[in-house]
């Protein structure tokens, strides 16, 4: 072992003895908020504050207010939750407990489901553990010793996890009488946890496989301060009100029936209209930008999926069938048909770029445990496009897609962020092609001065991608748009074009979606607007309400005039009190009510009430139609 270590912090370097901890070094540094430091990074690798340092390098401290700090805090809180559960319910077996976006969870194999009362008891015990200020401690054991340790505890899930680890030694963390298998890092002790809340219980299959045992998953969250936790819990309550599954039922948009099958959406008339409006908007926007409409079949021969690499790299997500003793794959993506269209005749460099667009319905075998309303389904439609271009056109095409996304997100009122996802472990293609594709995507982001993060190893199996994440009205992030750069599939399918010198060249293919899965986007949209869609998107734009049956004929006349101007209108001629009708129309979030009584009939006017307002304004029907037309054309929200 070296006799001394050279540790640099910011611009200062100093010599320390081997075995010193980051916590010891922190005590030497004059800082105002040392209590906010919960971990460190040595040469970019996260470490515990209490871990002995054995190598020289650059040391950075991790604040609980940073993204990495919050992740460590939440992961540590999941360990404290597991300790509380084991102390209260000794027969429960522990599995895994990671940090996730906005919180954490831990899966337990419990003889019975946890109840809300159980969560209260677990929270109470966690508070006692936190108050005890138990230190976290790390130990490394040889695999066999670790297996024996957990075998004695009866923790068979931990043994299964160790069996999947290739390392000869495994690390474990303890606080108090609880020990867990974990890579870490962790907070110094349980007393570091200042604000947490357990939020819900759900079922989850072990390792996400429906063939495995159903476990009990307890979700929770933790924040650096009680104020941050309070704000988050308020947003959580608002999110419950906006839940697209709840609003979908209340607004009669869609349903999911076990009779039809999980992950299959049944669109009701109003939901189908909303979907039609979004898709028609998409068609027009694509045509304006030089895309050509195409349609491919739902099933293609297995040989094609083998050729593309999907069979080897994506088979577990696909459905297969046999027709006339020939195996077919039900398409999970639309790219194969688009390449076949391209190959249907000889292409010249003058033809490029070619932009094929398809609102293509696809099927993917999602595990039942991850299905979630419109956000995770088994059948969905993608606003899928594939651009085939010459290598020197690649940059301008990527720039065009990013600007397309920017325009569309502005229309719907979404902010967004970007990530560049690089080559995954399971992939096809040469290192050279992957580097060319990654460089092309990164250059476009830099040309537009876009802020982005690198998401290592999360690209598609055939190429790197730009992922664009929407931020909704509650500041939640949703993955929708993506841009994938692919040199590999054109090679596999022998795609060529005749260049200006008469030689055959290989085009580059860009896979991209703007909204992504239409179902998922609509789920996000419902929650973003809380079901109160802007006028141009509202399935019903105007509802005509009558006060007495004397105005029924006039109401029909007004409705017909609105329909003639392509306004989506409903009539409510029921023999009910007008207050009741108004409340129902308000609950359905219809943008405009037209209320007709004797006065309106006599003066040939309409009394108009806008959504969210109690003021009723009388006007001529043509004046009302003009105001509607202006609002629709401006796509205001």
Bond preceding residue 185 cis, omega within 30 of 0:
yes
Q: Taking every pair of C-alpha atoms in the chain, what is the biggest distance, in angstroms? A: 100
382 carries an active-site annotation: yes
182 carries an active-site annotation: no
65 carries an active-site annotation: no
- Catalytic residue selected from 74, 125, 376, 465: 465
364 carries an active-site annotation: yes
511 carries an active-site annotation: yes
- Catalytic residue selected from 107, 384, 433, 472: 384
Taking alpha carbons only, the member of 248, 145, 131, 252 closest to residue 192 is 131
- Catalytic residue selected from 83, 175, 216, 382: 382
Q: Round to whole Å and give the CA distance between 37 and 75.
A: 16
Q: Is 600 in contact with 616 (CB distance < 8 Å)?
A: no
Taking alpha carbons only, the member of 320, 334, 322 closest to residue 365 is 320
- Catalytic residue selected from 180, 186, 335, 347: 335
- Catalytic residue selected from 386, 520, 528, 581: 386
Q: Is 590 in contact with 542 (CB distance < 8 Å)?
A: yes
Q: Round to whole Å and give the CA distance between 587 and 532.
A: 10
- Residues 22-46 as b/e (b if ≥16 CB within 10 A, e otherwise) read bbebbeeeeeeeeebbbbbbbeeeb
Bond preceding residue 353 cis, omega within 30 of 0:
yes
Q: Are β-strands 415-421 and 354-363 bridged in parallel, bridged antiparallel, or unpaired?
A: unpaired
- Rounded to an integer, what is the distance from CA 424 to the centroid of its chain? 19
Q: Are β-strands 465-471 and 453-455 bridged in parallel, bridged antiparallel, or unpaired?
A: unpaired
- Catalytic residue selected from 207, 217, 244, 364: 364
Identify the DSSP state of 615.
Answer: -
3-state secondary structure 529-583: HCCCCCCCCCCCCEEEEECCHHHHHHHHHHHHHHHHCCCCEEEECCCCCHHHHHH
Please count the helices (runs of H) and the strands (runs of E) in the chain: 19, 33
465 carries an active-site annotation: yes
Phi/psi at 4 (5° precision): -155, 160
Residue 400 has, within 13 A of its CA and on its CB side, a CA count of: 18
3-state secondary structure 244-285: HHHHHHHCCCEECCCCCCCCCCEECHHHHHHHHHHHHHHHHH
Q: Round to whole Å and give the CA distance between 615 and 624.
A: 15
Residue ranges of the alpha helices (H) in 488-543?
488-492, 518-529
Beta strands in 147-257 (DSSP E): 169-175, 178-181, 195-205, 214-223, 254-255
Q: Which two tokens stand for residue 545?
A: 């309400």
Q: Is 75 in contact with 97 (CB distance < 8 Å)?
A: yes
C-alpha dihedral (432, 434, 438, 443), degrees to nearest 10 = 30
- Catalytic residue selected from 511, 528, 581, 589: 511
Residues annotated catalytic, as ranges: 335, 364, 382, 384, 386, 465, 511
């Amino acid at each position: 072992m070296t006799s001394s270590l050279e540790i640099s912090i910011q611009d200062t370097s100093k010599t320390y003895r081997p075995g010193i901890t980051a916590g010891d070094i922190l005590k030497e540094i004059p800082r105002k908020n040392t209590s906010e430091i919960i971990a460190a990074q040595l040469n970019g690798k996260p470490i515990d504050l209490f871990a002995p340092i054995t190598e020289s390098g650059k040391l950075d401290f991790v604040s609980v207010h940073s993204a990495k700090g919050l992740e460590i805090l939440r992961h540590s809180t999941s360990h404290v939750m597991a300790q509380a559960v084991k102390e209260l319910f000794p027969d429960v077996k522990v599995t895994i407990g990671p940090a996730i976006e906005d919180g954490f969870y831990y899966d337990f194999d419990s003889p019975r489901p946890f109840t809300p009362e159980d969560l209260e008891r677990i929270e109470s015990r966690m508070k006692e553990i936190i108050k005890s200020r138990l230190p976290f401690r790390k130990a490394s054991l040889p695999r066999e010793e670790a297996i024996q340790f957990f075998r004695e505890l009866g923790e068979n899930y931990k043994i299964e996890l160790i069996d999947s680890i290739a390392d000869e030694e495994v690390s474990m963390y303890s606080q108090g009488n609880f020990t867990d298998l974990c890579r870490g890092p962790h907070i110094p002790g349980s007393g570091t946890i200042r604000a947490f809340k357990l939020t819900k219980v759900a079922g989850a299959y072990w390792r996400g496989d429906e063939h495995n045992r159903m476990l009990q998953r307890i979700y929770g969250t933790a924040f650096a301060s009680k104020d941050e936790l309070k704000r988050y819990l308020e947003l959580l309550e608002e999110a419950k009100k906006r839940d697209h599954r709840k609003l979908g039922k209340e607004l009669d948009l869609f349903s999911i029936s076990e009779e039809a099958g999980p992950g299959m959406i049944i669109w009701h008339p109003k939901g189908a209209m909303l979907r039609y409006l979004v898709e028609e908007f998409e068609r027009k926007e694509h045509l304006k930008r030089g895309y050509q409409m195409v349609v491919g079949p739902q099933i293609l021969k297995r040989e094609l999926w083998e050729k593309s690499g999907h069979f080897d790299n994506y088979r577990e997500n696909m459905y297969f069938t046999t027709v006339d003793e020939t195996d077919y794959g039900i398409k999970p993506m639309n790219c194969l048909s688009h390449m076949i269209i391209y190959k249907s005749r000889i292409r010249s460099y003058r033809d490029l770029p070619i932009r094929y667009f398809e609102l293509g319905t696809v099927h993917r075998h999602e595990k039942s445990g991850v299905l979630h309303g419109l956000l995770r389904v088994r059948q969905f439609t993608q606003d899928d496009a594939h651009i085939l271009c010459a290598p020197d056109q690649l940059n301008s095409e990527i720039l065009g897609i990013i600007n397309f996304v920017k325009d569309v997100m502005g229309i719907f009122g979404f902010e967004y962020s970007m990530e560049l996802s690089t080559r995954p472990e399971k992939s096809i293609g040469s290192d050279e092609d992957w580097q060319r594709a990654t460089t092309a995507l990164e250059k476009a982001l830099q040309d537009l001065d876009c802020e982005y993060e690198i998401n290592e190893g999360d690209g598609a199996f055939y190429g790197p991608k730009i992922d664009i994440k929407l931020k909704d009205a509650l500041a939640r992030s949703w993955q929708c748009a993506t841009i994938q750069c692919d040199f590999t599939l054109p090679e596999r399918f022998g795609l060529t074009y005749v260049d200006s010198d008469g030689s055959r060249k290989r085009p580059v293919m860009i896979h991209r979606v703007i909204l992504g899965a239409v179902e998922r986007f609509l789920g996000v949209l419902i929650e973003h607007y809380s079901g109160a869609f802007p006028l141009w998107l509202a399935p019903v734009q105007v509802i005509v309400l009558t006060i007495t049956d004397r105005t029924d004929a006039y109401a029909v006349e007004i409705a017909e005039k609105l329909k003639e101007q392509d306004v989506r209108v409903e009539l409510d001629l029921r023999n009910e009190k007008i207050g009741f009708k108004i409340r129902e129309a308000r609950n359905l979030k219809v943008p405009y009510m037209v209320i007709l009584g004797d006065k309106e009939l006599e003066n040939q006017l309409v009394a108009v009430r806008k959504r969210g307002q109690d003021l009723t304004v009388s006007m001529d029907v043509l004046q009302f139609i003009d105001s509607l037309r202006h609002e629709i054309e401006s796509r205001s929200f």
